[in-house]
Amino acid sequence: MTRLSVNINKVATIRNARGGNVPSVTHAAVEIQKYGAQGITIHPRPDERHIRYADVYDLKPLVHTEFNIEGNPIKSFMDMVLEVKPEQVTLVPDSNDVLTSNAGWDTIKNKEFLTEVIQEFKQAGIRTSIFVDPNHDMIEGAAAIGVDRIELYTEAFAVGYANGDEKAVEPYALCAELAHKLGLGINAGHDLSLDNIAFFKQNVPHLLEVSIGHALISEALYLGFETVVKRYLELLK
């Protein structure tokens, strides 16, 4: 079964819009795990526009599944991850001014930098993953820098599939096969939803984990966390 990690950034976005602590990201994490999700993902950004660095420390003792922290490896992010020591860190090359993650790493251009960062995390006992586009050169570059896993950036698939193009999944299937041959674990995320997750899972081999945030939180507004999490788990079997 492919594991489900729920990104709770959007819970923090709603909280921050009003101030205070409602809705609570810690309560959401506890409930989501209770309903069967196998992980909690957060992506703290320097401007703390959704998840705050303080949230990371509040969540650490409450996440009894897999804690996955995403972000751009600037110094403050690295210091925080090395102190908290989540089960997984996912490196994302987003700048401060982007609304959401919109591209994977150039693993060739950034080889030296990524190699140093990844080794520092791995020496601390943290599993490493990097956000990559479905591109064979980038997959091979990821293997060369010593990362444990890749997270395939799935926006292109989601857009294509929504427009009736089932072939949009093919680059992901081919890249997953290549990554597996190179000894990399395969995660995926971005715009995956109840509408497309089953098709993606059925067509992309060796898929270990999906990280789903915006769609799942939006779906939960209508259906509730318990119903939505259980639907994803059923579709990921």
pLDDT tens figures, 173-195:
999 999 999 999 999 999 999 99
**Catalytic choice (70, 151, 209, 219):** 70
Domain count, the chain: 1
Residue 209 structural domain: 3-235
Tell me whether residue 214 is one of the annotated catalytic residues.
no
Residue 32: CATH number of its domain: 3.20.20.70
pLDDT, residue 99, reads 46
Task: Show Cβ contacts of residue 62 under 8 Å, excluding neighbours closer than 6 positions.
Answer: 26, 29, 30
| DSSP 8-state code for residue 18 | H
**Strands (DSSP E) along 24-87, which ranges?**
39-42, 66-71
Q: How confident is the model at residue 164 (pLDDT cuts 50, 70, 90)?
A: very high
| DSSP 8-state code for residue 89 | E
Torsion of Cα atoms, 21 then 23 then 25 then 28, to 10°? 150
pLDDT, residue 136, reads 97
pLDDT, residue 117, reads 97
pLDDT, residue 102, reads 58
| Residue 65, pLDDT above cutoff 50 | yes
Tell me whether residue 27 is one of the annotated catalytic residues.
no
Q: How confident is the model at residue 33 (pLDDT cuts 50, 70, 90)?
A: very high
Tell me whether residue 64 is one of the annotated catalytic residues.
no
**92 close to 43: Cβ distance less than 8 angstroms:** yes
pLDDT, residue 97, reads 52
| Residue 100, pLDDT above cutoff 90 | no
Compute the radius of gyration of the chain from its Cα atoms.
17
**Catalytic choice (43, 50, 66, 209):** 43
Q: What pTM, to 2 d.p., does this model score?
A: 0.95
**Catalytic choice (50, 66, 151, 190):** 190
The half-sphere exposure of 121 on its side-chain side, counting CA atoms within 13 A, is: 32
